[in-house]
Structure 1
Amino acid sequence: MENIELRGFGADDRDWLVEQHSVHYAREEGFDESFGTLVAEILDAFLAKNDPARERGWIAWAEGRRLGSIFCVRLDDDTAKLRLFLLTPEARGRGLGRRLLETCMGFARDAGYRRMTLWTHESHRAAGALYARNGWSLVSRTPVVSFGQPNVEQHWSIDL
């Protein structure tokens, strides 16, 4: 899988991304349909009112197929939020996650943000390891029941 291209997220990517999140997290984590609903709401809000100078989404492509996504959105004037980071199973283990993360963080830095945050679940161990390797700090852990499953929410941050 060579020549992976990062393209800007567009409306034609929405349904694919909702489906990928819904299917993956139902299969891997037992999440209920409320997770797909949340992803759809996030994407619809992004499409309706994003500020292209300070917010962006990327879709990774190779050989005519989408392989993953990552988004940088505004939390406040100084803080960006990383959202909707996903790699399809066939894209994992090839350095694409690191490339997407570096692209997103570089954009946030260039857009004038001083820090980034993200929210995830402890069960996403590979993602947590990637964040830690790239200088992110685990800020908090909270036991929750979300999307129909017991889990531990994690909040991470990094100064840019």
Structure 2
Amino acid sequence: MSEIILRPYTPDDAAWLVERHADLYARDEGFDGTFGPLVAGLLADFSAHADPEREAGWIAMQDGAPIGSIFCVSGSPGSAKLRLFLIVPEARGQGLGHMLLDQCMSFAGDAGYRRMELWTHESHRAACALYAKFGWRLVDSHPVTSFGVDLIEQSWEIDL
């Protein structure tokens, strides 16, 4: 395998991101057809309104193909949100999660955010273990029914 590179997100990446999110979450989590449109909406909003000084997205590439993503967007005052963190199954286990998370958190700190927050599900055990390793704190966990399945929704945060 060749080197992994991170490059800035462009709107040309949207179709791949929506498709991969929808397909992987349907296959691995049983999500229904409402998840893809949610991702599409997040990307459309990002493309239309992102402040490049304070918001960014990255696509991980290997051998000319996209293999992952992560985004930093504005959240509550003084806080950034981590969004659309995805690593395709065939690229897992290469340290890509560390690379993407470090890129996003470093950008947030450099952009002046004092903290970061994210929303995920308990079933994403590898990602949650990575968040904990980086010093994120689990601040809320509760059952929900989303995207057609019962889940344990989690909120995490970290001071930068």
SS at match of 1:33: coil
**1:56 maps to which residue?**
56
**2:159 maps to which residue?**
159
Instruction: Summarize the alignment of residues 141-160 of structure 1 with structure 2, pairs less than 5 Å apart.
Output: 141-160=141-160
**1:124 maps to which residue?**
124
Q: Deviations over 1:62-108 (max 9, x none)?
A: 11100000000001341000000000011101100011000000000
Counterpart-to-counterpart distance in 1, 2:155 and 2:11: 28
Q: TM-score, normalised by structure 2?
A: 0.99
Give the root-mean-square deviation of aligned CA atoms: 0.6
Q: Deviations over 1:4-52 (max 9, x none)?
A: 1101000110000000000000000000011111000000000001000
Q: TM-score, normalised by structure 1?
A: 0.99
**1:39 maps to which residue?**
39
SS at match of 2:130: helix
Segments of structure 1 that go 5 or more residues without pairing to the other structure are none
Counterpart-to-counterpart distance in 1, 2:111 and 2:4: 24
Length, aligned pairs only: 160
Counterpart-to-counterpart distance in 2, 1:4 and 1:112: 27
Percent same amino acid among aligned pairs?
Answer: 61
Q: How far does residue 2 in structure 1 lie from its aligned partner after superposition?
A: 2.6
Stretches (4+) displaced over 3 A: none
Instruction: Summarize the alignment of residues 99-118 of structure 1 with structure 2, pairs less than 5 Å apart.
Output: 99-118=99-118
